[in-house]
Structure 1
Amino acid sequence: MRSNLFTSLLTLIPVLGDLALGYEVQTPPLDTDWTYTVGTDPWPEYPRPQLQRDEWQSLNGIWKWKSASYPGEPVPAKGSFDEDILVPSCIESAISGVMKMNQTYSWYRTEFTVPQDYIQKGKRVLLNFEAVDHQATVYVNGDLVGIHVGGYWHFNFDVTKYLNTNGTNTLHVFVFDPTDAEGYMNPVGKQTRVPSHIFYTPCTGIWQTVWLESVPDTYIQQLDIIAEMDGTVNVTVTTNQGTDSVSVSILDGEGASVASVNSGTANKAFDFKVSSPKLWSPDSPTLYNLTVTVGEDTVNSYTGFRTLSTGEIDGVTRPLLNGEFIFQFGTLDQGFWPDGIYTPPNREAMVYDLKMLKDLGLNMLRKHIKVENALFYRACDELGLLLIQDMPSMPLRTPDADQQAEWERQLDILIQQHKNYPSIYTWVIYNEGWGQITDYYPEFNLTARVKQLDPTRFVDSTTGWHDHGAGDFHDNHHYANPQCGTPFYSIQSTPYDNKRIAIQGEFGGIGHNVSAEHLWKVELAVQQINQTYEIDADLDAYNYRGHLLLSELRDQVEKYACSGAVWTQTTDVEGEVNGFLTYDRRLQRTDKKQWRADIQALYDAAASRGGKATNATTRKFRL
């Protein structure tokens, strides 16, 4: 009966064929309160909050799209494009206006004009892409300007010489995305061409903001800042050329100057000191604004003062933030949306999830084998949410040497592009053995490599499963009850290693089925709901079970060595119904009063085991 019901519901979802041009949101298997409010000027916010300039232009909006057949196709004629698509969005999503699966090859087309003041003598125009999944080949006015590989990373091209400065310019993007097709081992996370319970609808194409900016001939490419609890600030300003002088000014939240330095040099690290800064923490997420100038280029950014270290407190290895042990409790955060897949409908929707977690009292989340847009990390910085950031995993196969090398190259990019967000405190290399080589142990060299790129943060080398002793954490996964820093463990874990920090990388996962209005109306997904780790018949049972599991975790904090835990999960995703929120974000399962009290009890239990690292052996992460 259920099967027939959902088959009928699916017939209501349009089958997309040859459409007349004209964008409109398609009907997804499940919508949200934001689905039909996206409009045709999506994500208008400045997309890169840690390197802001005044002269920029969004290219988001309605583009032309068509399916393609093979790599190396000639740039298609203008009249050959047969559909509109919203940029940014996933081709598979309803918000895209296309909503088609398994588009291995695609073409995008749009036109734009460049303001005259962008192209004056001594200036350049950069074409920026925040993320294109998986490989993008970019043409401006028919000329190839560059190719980029990697679906999670921002990139740009200097397109100055390709522009028609007095008229319209045409931009074409050819996208290749095999996702997890046989023979390919790209970083894909939970994306799959054949969705099944814990693996979901993939995202193909231009799924984050596209934009132009005007820069001088010598311009800042990257700004790396380490601001420590003692006020020491280490800065590296990377420019495209030269060793020009650098000036940096730091302002507090009220706009008052707290430091000004004019003695730095581009492309070389330098230090200065801020007196008695207010520190960044989940309880007090204080941020400072920066202005950095090199020659004619000025950018605005921000930072937070905080120091991560390890310490031994009463014989237990602990993670320390600003010299203090605080218990870290958060959710596994998948970052999927029923209407946008990988792309949230808008910033308001994206931040809604984060505010819900903060409102319950959580101080952390684990960004699970996905990388978000820069505004997500800025929101975590502002709200005071610690972030465990996973490297997107490869499919459940063993990579060959070339595939492993490419994945490692992209691991480097993850660190380089995200190491300035105060909220990120841990990098995860491998998740549950996915794409992990086990006939030797590459995680040891990879951990050293990550530490070299960023010596200021923790590394969780293997979250769950094949743990051979690398990294700062001993990380257990167990459903539904926790086994965190305990003398008991299960078959897919290892005995607790007291030389490392104990964390429960995943647990909980209790589910609660809901009415059809909140479900992902795809028949296979509905049939697989019972694969959820545990199903509770009603919300009373769900909250009762949550209380018992958090009480068990509290016992392990009090009695054993548990320092942090990750609950599965923030929201439902397709056939998984174990979120604090349903997939449409319309139903919150958690009893707020109860969960707030139980989460606070975790923090209190940890505090009773020793907070500040007085008389503790500490090791600070530092350059």
Structure 2
Amino acid sequence: MFNAVARVLCSAISTERLLDTPWTLRATENPWPQHPRPLLYRDRWQTLNGLWTYQKAFRGEDVHSPPTSPLARTALIPSCIESVISGLKEDSTSEVKYMWFARNFSLPIGWEATRAGQRILLHFEAVDYEATVFLNGNKVGFNRGGYFRFSIDITDSVSLDGSNELLAFVFDPTDADGYHIPNGKQTLTRSHIFYTPCSGIWQTVWLESVPDNYITSMDIAAGADGNVTATFYSSADGPSPVEISVLDNDGRTIAFQKNVVANRTFVFNVPSSQLQLWTPDTPRLYNLTVKMGDDIVSSYTGFRTISSGIVKGVRRPLLNGKFVFHFGTLDQGYWPDGIHVPPTLEAMEWDLLLLKRLGMNMVRKHIKIESDLFYYACDRLGLLVYQDMPSMKATVNVRDAIPTADDQAEFERQLDLMINEHKSYPSIVAWVLYNEGWGQIKLAYQPEIELAERVRKLDPTRLIDATSGWYDHRAGDFSDNHHYSEPQCGTPFYSDPSAPYDPKRIGFQGEFGGIGHVPPDESLWPVQGARDTINQTYELVADLAAYNYRSRVLLGLLRDQIALYACSGAVWTQTTDVEGEVNGLVSYDRRVVRVNETQWREDILALYRAAEARV
């Protein structure tokens, strides 16, 4: 389908100096057609992705006067309005705070015949930052939080056999005065390590038909001992019987549990003789079928246990009771064509497959939360995920920004959302609460101490990195150091005297490397302000031979620290370039691969062998 947005996109690429990727033009063909929630799949669903209409609004009071659709301009959803993929490419420095989105839709043929005993749900996977939703002139929902899904029961407002008018009023304050919100590295005042913001409907919108009493969500934690701890949440009050089946790849049922009650946590066991455990080398997943009355849901899980323990006198992270060295990249998830939105699923997985090809077993998802399909890919590919909570107040003065009590309460509410929405993904091994003090209260009290225990109660199955980088008050499971370009991982030498390695916790290198290389002009972000900050890169090299030489030196230092000291994991900065940051394994457009893959595989394998020698 070559639509209006595709024409705008092609025109923009040919007439403006824009940076695309190999997948840019594919983004308009059928945007993100995949079912967006692999942990909660039903057959009866319909995507609302595609062409919407859009127009700016000018004040918050405009929400009380919904316009008539179609609106002034055409936009591709999901997208950021600042991106070229959206077809809008709004000026990210002009501070478009208020905006309307609209589209008409009809329900799929056959849904109108199921009025009795059925509900129609409208799902938004993520809207940045606040969304007020109207259907056929009625206000039907509101949500706050730029990274989190929300669902609206529209049964009483939707036309079952005609056209429906859907409008969403979006407010995104980014880093405007008076607002202190979790938004990661988004900013109107871009600098070297803070980037173009993402506003609007940036993840999938879709419809679903469900029974009157349906499973709203579920928590699954499957351990290496075969024990499955599960909670199924129903839309109805009172006890609802649930049945769950665990199936192997051939569809054979290897465990079945009935007489389970919804909204209560229960435990059952799958015999270990039936299981292959989930690891980065063997990312074995098992399908689940869950039935509650007329509701049938498909899901999956992986059997593994995350813990910490003492191995030959050193505190280590353990996977299935064994020390596995964690090594991967800082992964920011930015794209020159889509900003927060990868142009396609193939594009998103290309980044992850590069890490696996190099032999990495981990990725740190850096102060951004991705779509569920990202974590599903990590589950399937075998990548351990350190998941950051998006920081508050991402501006050049972020370290000086102090949250109010209301700011902190909202941050903590959204932290809870992050944990609860993602704790069933086997690949996630650790939650990262604060990065380098950004949005962290440091003087009056240390919130990470209380928050670490709060998170542990929400999810006792994972590790907690309370403070990645600086301002460490000894909360959580990690003694996490950042140092560029050379590592200082679990060592008796350190550059920050306030945060020496703490042997009671896991020695971890939360960031290091950061070697910069200026790519050819055609692969460089074409914004002069960003180019002017390239010299702020931690270390610049002249060519790819020097890049790979320096990487071998730094990885060799890391190998020595694994062999001699207490280093248990490390994060290389970073997967890709981002705007004026030119220190990725690949360029921002993914066309320049800096790494000598053979050399990197050898050097990464040497890290694992050094760790194995310490067991």
Task: Write out per-residue CA displacement over residues 316-360 of structure 1, whole angstroms, 9 at most, x where no aligned residue.
Answer: 000100010010000000000000000000100000000000000
Does the 8 Å CA contact 1:337/1:344 hold for their aligned counterparts? yes
1:438 alignment partner AA: K
Aligned match of 1:261: 257
Task: Write out per-residue CA displacement over residues 159-208 of structure 1, whole angstroms, 9 at most, x where no aligned residue.
Answer: 00001222100000000001011221111101111111110000000000
Does the 8 Å CA contact 1:40/1:86 hold for their aligned counterparts? no
- The structural deviation recorded for 1:528 is 1.0
Aligned match of 2:293: 295
Match of 1:345 among 343, 346, 350: 343
Aligned match of 2:549: 544
Q: Where do 1:367-378 residues align within 5 Å?
A: 367-378=365-376
Q: Where do 1:25-174 residues align within 5 Å?
A: 25=9, 26-27=12-13, 29-73=18-62, 74-78=64-68, 81-100=71-90, 101=92, 102-115=95-108, 117-119=110-112, 120-174=115-169
Moved more, 83-92 or 157-166: 157-166
Determine what percentage of the aligned residue pairs are the same residue.
Answer: 58
Task: Write out per-residue CA displacement over residues 281-308 of structure 1, whole angstroms, 9 at most, x where no aligned residue.
Answer: 0010000000000011010000000001
Q: Structure 1 runs of 4+ off > 4 angstroms?
A: 20-23
Does the 8 Å CA contact 2:70/2:103 hold for their aligned counterparts? no
- The structural deviation recorded for 1:492 is 7.1
Does the 8 Å CA contact 1:416/1:453 hold for their aligned counterparts? yes
User: Residue 162 of structure 1 aligns to a residue in which SS?
Assistant: coil
Q: Where do 1:250-329 residues align within 5 Å?
A: 250-276=246-272, 277-329=275-327
2:437 alignment partner AA: G
Equivalent-residue separation in structure 2 for 1:493 and 1:528 (angstroms):
29
- The structural deviation recorded for 1:39 is 2.0
- The structural deviation recorded for 1:37 is 1.7
- The structural deviation recorded for 1:21 is 9.4
Does the 8 Å CA contact 2:84/2:338 hold for their aligned counterparts? yes
Q: 1:40 to 1:110 in 2, by over 3 A?
A: farther
Aligned match of 1:227: 222
Does the 8 Å CA contact 2:53/2:69 hold for their aligned counterparts? no
Equivalent-residue separation in structure 2 for 1:542 and 1:444 (angstroms):
39
Equivalent-residue separation in structure 2 for 1:477 and 1:498 (angstroms):
17
Q: Where do 1:373-384 residues align within 5 Å?
A: 373-384=371-382
Match of 2:179 among 171, 184, 199: 184
1:311 alignment partner AA: G
Q: Where do 1:457-536 residues align within 5 Å?
A: 457-491=462-496, 494-536=499-541
Does the 8 Å CA contact 1:29/1:522 hold for their aligned counterparts? no
Moved more, 21-30 or 588-597: 21-30
Unpaired segments ≥5 residues, structure 2 = none
Equivalent-residue separation in structure 1 for 2:507 and 2:362 (angstroms):
16
Aligned match of 1:24: 8
Aligned match of 2:407: 403
Equivalent-residue separation in structure 1 for 2:69 and 2:355 (angstroms):
48
Aligned match of 2:596: 591
1:207 and 2:202 are equivalent in the alignment: yes
1:445 and 2:450 are equivalent in the alignment: yes
RMSD (Å), alpha carbons? 1.3
- The structural deviation recorded for 1:552 is 0.2
- The structural deviation recorded for 1:493 is 5.6
1:245 alignment partner AA: P
User: Residue 59 of structure 2 aligns to a residue in which SS?
Assistant: coil
Equivalent-residue separation in structure 1 for 2:569 and 2:232 (angstroms):
35
User: Residue 428 of structure 1 aligns to a residue in which SS?
Assistant: strand
Equivalent-residue separation in structure 2 for 1:86 and 1:514 (angstroms):
30
1:427 alignment partner AA: W
1:228 alignment partner AA: G
- The structural deviation recorded for 1:596 is 0.4
2:129 alignment partner AA: H
Q: 1:511 to 1:466 in 2, by over 3 A?
A: same
Equivalent-residue separation in structure 2 for 1:88 and 1:46 (angstroms):
14
Moved more, 96-105 or 122-131: 96-105
User: Residue 161 of structure 1 aligns to a residue in which SS?
Assistant: coil
1:210 alignment partner AA: V
Task: Write out per-residue CA displacement over residues 85-110 of structure 1, whole angstroms, 9 at most, x where no aligned residue.
Answer: 00000000000000002210000010
- The structural deviation recorded for 1:80 is 7.0
- The structural deviation recorded for 1:81 is 1.8
Aligned match of 1:361: 359
- The structural deviation recorded for 1:79 is 5.7
Moved more, 546-555 or 246-255: 246-255
Aligned match of 1:436: 440
User: Residue 72 of structure 1 aligns to a residue in which SS?
Assistant: helix
Equivalent-residue separation in structure 2 for 1:484 and 1:116 (angstroms):
59
Q: 1:426 to 1:79 in 2, by over 3 A?
A: closer
Equivalent-residue separation in structure 2 for 1:103 and 1:118 (angstroms):
38
- The structural deviation recorded for 1:491 is 2.7
Match of 1:335 among 333, 336, 353: 333
Task: Write out per-residue CA displacement over residues 52-77 of structure 1, whole angstroms, 9 at most, x where no aligned residue.
Answer: 00000000000000000111313443
Unpaired segments ≥5 residues, structure 1 = 1-19, 611-623
Task: Write out per-residue CA displacement over residues 452-486 of structure 1, whole angstroms, 9 at most, x where no aligned residue.
Answer: 10000000000011001000000000000000000
TM-score of the superposition, structure 2-length normalised?
Answer: 0.95
Aligned match of 1:8: none
Task: Write out per-residue CA displacement over residues 564-595 of structure 1, whole angstroms, 9 at most, x where no aligned residue.
Answer: 00000000000010000100001110001111
Q: 1:82 to 1:230 in 2, by over 3 A?
A: same
Aligned match of 2:578: 573
Equivalent-residue separation in structure 2 for 1:168 and 1:333 (angstroms):
42
User: Residue 103 of structure 2 aligns to a residue in which SS?
Assistant: strand
1:113 alignment partner AA: S
Match of 2:234 among 220, 239, 246: 239
Q: 1:531 to 1:403 in 2, by over 3 A?
A: same
Does the 8 Å CA contact 1:40/1:62 hold for their aligned counterparts? no
1:45 alignment partner AA: Q
1:537 alignment partner AA: A
2:596 alignment partner AA: D
- The structural deviation recorded for 1:258 is 0.8
Equivalent-residue separation in structure 1 for 2:604 and 2:512 (angstroms):
15
